[in-house]
Amino acid sequence: MGEPLPAKAQPANGPVRCTKDRLEETLFERRRDLFTEVELVFFDTTSLYFEGEGGQSLGE
């Protein structure tokens, strides 16, 4: 499930996705409707970087 998807299934500009990502997105969309609020969102910050003045210490 962690294998990258074929190039034709990848977005033109974005991160490389795998089958697991597609499965998670499909399950999320299936459970969510117009009136469902998102209560908790996880944001992966392992690959973030900061530029500009103070960028070296801002992300610590």
Q: Tell me the average pLDDT across 29-37.
A: 80
Residue 22, C-beta contacts closer than 8 angstroms, at least 6 positions apart: 5, 9
Share of residues in the chain with pLDDT > 90 (%): 0
Instruction: Estimate to the nearest angstrom the gap between the alpha carbon of 23 and the chain centroid.
Output: 13
4 φ, ψ (degrees, to nearest 5): -60, 145
What percent of the chain has pLDDT above 70?
A: 52
pLDDT level of residue 21 (50, 70, 90 thresholds): confident
Q: Which residues neighbour 21 within 8 Å (Cβ) at sequence distance 6 or greater? A: 5
